[in-house]
Each structure stands twice: as structure tokens, then as C-alpha cells.
Amino acid sequence: METKPEIINDSVVSQSVPKTKQRKKKIELILEELECERVNKLNCSKNSLTAKSGFKAEKIFRTDNKIKMALETYFKSNIVLMEKIQGKKYDTLITFNNNTKLNIQNKKIENLGGRGDSFDRRHIKNTFDNQFIRKYLTYLSLIRKSKTETFMTEEQKQDFINLCNSNLYDIKQYIKKTLIGEGGEENNYWCIMKTDKNFKKMEIYILSSFKLYEFMCGSIKIDIKMKKNGTCLHLSPYISLQRKGGGNTDHSPNHIQAKFKITQEILNLCDKIL
């Protein structure tokens, strides 16, 4: 007699399997779903707090008189206006008394290193020009065996690394449009605020976007973790790409997110103005 499979949470469990094993499998699936839900809620909460902290840092940057004076000293010109900008590759537009305008990308950090801070997110079709890089990146980061594992083998990962190394111009163009911007909407300077959770101590570092881009191009080192949980594409020790994620509350969890790891080496490139 043919046995019909039973569907449990989108997984097929044969009725020929003893009931105790079926119950165990069902419990495991339920526990896995609960854990995924818990992690998603935790990540959403952390991302929300990070965003709110970043917005507060931007507001302080535009309104703090000490920061304004430090910027005026650095640029040797009086500031007449600092405007909040949204939806572009810069957060603040500074207008000086000689009508010169500068686009500033703000970034707030509490600690150096770590996993990095997000600086770009976009659909996979808008990442690289090379279609094979896009396909490999989709297979590495978006189509997964599980939330923490990729289907890609070590051989495929090595082939992906070789593909990227053979198309460094494409890699550099991606870095430029995501880190600096394009189409006349580029940022002119990156301003890094190193502070604590309560903003009691603040250090302000500034770096020209061109200098940052040149450094990033010079530090390109394509890498992918060879273990099964290696789902990120590292373009350098400072830039990595991954699935955006964010759970059910994010409107585009399958976008590709770029992260920037700010280290002491990055700060050494900057001018400390406060």
C-alpha cells in the first residue's frame, strides 16, 4: 500500500516513519521557527536603535556650535547653513558665506572594527555590471540552504573570487557608486563621529571622499569565508556585502547590503578636527 506524505510546516514527512520520529521532527521545526522569529525581532530592535542613534548624531553634527567652529577652522570659511539631506549619498549640505557648498556623509561609531556599519543597500540588479558576478552573489548570499549556510561549495567560492579578481574595474565602480555616489550627487567629505552611547565624549574626524575612494581601491582583497556559514563577499578588509535581512518588518530583506568597517587605519587617514 502506497503511503502519502504528510506536510508539516512546508516539510514532507513520510507516514512510514514512526510517529515518535514524526513528533520529534515537528518539534524541531517549531523550535527552529521560534528561534528564527526571536533572532529577527532582536535584529530589528538593534537596527532600529542603531538608526535612531545615527539620526541623533547627524542632528548634533548640524547643531553643535563646537563642531561648527571646528569645521569653519578646517575649511577656513564661515558656515551660514547646514541642511539635513535624505535619500542621497550625503547626509548634510554645508553652505559657506562665499556660497561654496559641500556634501558631507556622516558616520557615527562607538567602537572600531567589529562587523561594520551599513552604508548602502540596493537590489542585486543594481550592484555589478557583470552578470556572472551578480549571479554568483545571488547564489552566495540570497539563495541559502538556511539562514546561516550557503549552497556554494569551496570550489564555487574560489571560482567567484577569481571572477571578481578578473573584473576589478567593475569592483571599483561598485565601490565608487555606493561609497561616494554618482551622477553629480557625490559626497565631498566623510565626517566620522567617534562617541559613546550618551554622546558625552565626541571626536570628529574628516576625510575627503576622493582620498577614501583611492585608499579603498588600493586595499581591494576579494575574500569569502570557505566554511558553510560564509555568506558574505568581502571586497577588502573594510567593505563586505551581505543579504540585508531584517525579518518580516523590512520591506526589502533580499537587497544587498554593503558594510564599512572603520578601523584605526581608516582614522589615520583622516584629519581630527575635534
Report yes or no on whether pTM surpasses 0.85: no
pLDDT at 227 over 50: yes
- Confidence grade of residue 85 (pLDDT, cut at 50, 70, 90): very high
Dist. CA 47–CA 90, nearest whole Å: 20
* Position 89, amino acid: K
C-alpha cell at position 68:
561648527
- Confidence grade of residue 91 (pLDDT, cut at 50, 70, 90): very high
The answer to whether the CB of 109 falls within 8 A of the CB of 205 is no
Do the domain assignments include residue 129?
A: yes
Do the domain assignments include residue 217?
A: yes
Domains in the chain: how many in total? 1
- Confidence grade of residue 126 (pLDDT, cut at 50, 70, 90): very high
Domain of 61, in residue numbers: 6-272
Do the domain assignments include residue 81?
A: yes
Do the domain assignments include residue 120?
A: yes
Do the domain assignments include residue 232?
A: yes
